Amino acid sequence: MKNLKILALLAIISLFLPANPVSAVYNAVQWSNTMRLYFTQVAPVDGGTKGISLDIYKDSFLEYYYLDVASLRLQMRSGSKVYLQSPDRKIFNVPAGYPETECFDGYSRFAYEFNDAGLADFTITLTDGGNCPEVEELVEAEEPTTPVVEQIDVTNLDRITANGLTKSLDQNSRTHFVLGNIVETIEVLSVGGTETKIKLSAPDKELILSAGKEKIVDTDADGWNDLSLTLKSTTGGEAEFMMRMTEPVKIAGINPGDLVKVLGGTTVYYVGANSKLYVFPNEKTYKTWYSDFSLVKTIGSSDLGKFGWGGLVTYRPGVKMVKFSISPDVYVVGRGGVLRKLKDEAMAKEFYGEDWNKKIDDINEAFMFSYSFGSDLTAVGEYNSEEASQLSPTVGVDRGI
């Protein structure tokens, strides 16, 4: 029945495009504390046993990243930054024009902040024999040495499975669980009436959970979300959670953030990290996110059918104003497809310039259900089109997946 509903909806959605596969991209991540990355095909020293770790320090923000067995590919937009540290004093091999490895007594470091226009896309590689040279006098360390990693006894920990695990945790409590081959640490930072703020160790980030609403996160840094968290209730400073392992849909050559279509088809889908497909309802919507169709990959219809249904992609915030054919009201677009009605033409001119009336798209009322409506705008300072666009760099970020 679900497939029939999807097919019926897609019957009115079409795009005309070429198929030209490109490399994959991954969701943006910001770390609030130190996170450890593992490289399985690099030895601490030349000829040693394979397997090293790098620490990515707090305040690092990456637009996209891809962790391989011996390399780390980074994509960074303006304002992004990264701080990597190796306790084995490895050399971070980077293309010309990027910062060189800093060698300290006991560790090495790579630090880079990108503030130019466009996109920085580069790969860091590590090798068995690529270590900092031994010298008598080293630069005085500016950062603390590698932090002590907590040792956890996993023998008696509860395991999160596909069937789910329900636990009640007090505010300020910190508890460990096993998810696959990962030990997940959950710390409850605050408990409110309908919301609870928690901190996860994998990934190292903070989340706000709303009662009854599911959030799915990626714990093993492969780009796919695999841990489902749902806040069931809050009572007297205690929060009850349902934690469930999810099984990502993995198709060879397809990664979260990819654009796909079937051979001979014209409908374009965005592949979410939650293993769901988000469809572009028309070319106008698509062009607010992408300038052309060169990123679209072609897959078989049977593989397409393995993914779940996520919904329609909405306009990218800040790019255009919109209105529905059944009403004269004009709206700006906020994150997640939230629409806010403009007060008057003067306000539209403030946001989009003298030619503001050429930056309004009509949306068929059949797609109205994919948007939500926020409060009307009463002052110019309540919305900034450039900022709104920057806060939603990808469909995944915009949808919170």
pLDDT 10s digits, 289-298:
999 999 999 9
The H or E element spanning position 227 is strand 227-235
Q: Where does the pLDDT of residue 349 fall: very low under 50, low under 70, confident under 90, or very high at 90 and above?
A: very high
**Residue 148 covered by a domain:** no
Instruction: For residue 197, give Cα distances in angstroms to 72, 193, 213, 231.
Output: 30, 11, 13, 10
**Residue 64 covered by a domain:** yes
Under 8 Å between Cβ of 22 and 9: no
Say what the pLDDT of residue 330 is.
96
35-49 pLDDT tens trace? 777 788 888 888 888
| C-alpha to C-alpha distance for 279 and 189, rounded to whole angstroms | 36
For residues 305-324, average pLDDT: 95
Give me the amino acid identity at 86: S
| C-alpha to C-alpha distance for 329 and 343, rounded to whole angstroms | 9
Please count the structural domains in the chain: 4
Q: Does pLDDT of 112 surpass 60?
A: yes
Range of the domain at 73: 29-125
**Residue 147 covered by a domain:** no
Q: Does pLDDT of 23 surpass 90?
A: no
Query: Which residues are 234's β-sheet partners?
Result: 239
Does residue 214 share a domain with residue 169? yes
Say what the pLDDT of residue 278 is.
97
Residue where the block lists tokens 């919904």: 311
Average pLDDT value for the chain: 84
Say what the pLDDT of residue 184 is.
86
**Residue 188 covered by a domain:** yes
2-16 pLDDT tens trace? 443 443 343 433 333
Instruction: For residue 3, give Cα distances in angstroms to 169, 250, 307, 333, 357.
Output: 39, 19, 11, 30, 39
SS3 state of residue 274: coil
Q: How many CA atoms lie within 13 A of 11 on its CB side?
A: 7
78-92 pLDDT tens trace? 888 899 999 889 999
Domain boundary among 312, 333, 355: 312
| C-alpha to C-alpha distance for 260 and 344, rounded to whole angstroms | 39
SS3 state of residue 6: helix
Q: Does pLDDT of 64 surpass 80?
A: no
Does residue 257 share a domain with residue 238? no
Q: Does pLDDT of 133 surpass 60?
A: yes
Residue with the bigger pLDDT between 330 and 17: it is: 330
Q: What burial letters (b/e) apply to 233-259, b meaning 16+ CB within 10 Å?
A: ebeeeebbbebbbbebbebeebbbbbb
Q: What burial letters (b/e) apply to 366-389, b meaning 16+ CB within 10 Å?
A: ebeebbeeeeebeeeeebebeebb
Domain boundary among 245, 279, 301: 245
Domain boundary among 264, 285, 312: 312
221-277 pLDDT tens trace? 888 989 999 999 998 889 999 999 988 999 999 999 999 999 999 999 999 999 999
**Residue 136 covered by a domain:** no
**Residue 221 covered by a domain:** yes
Under 8 Å between Cβ of 343 and 321: no
Does residue 209 share a domain with residue 276? no
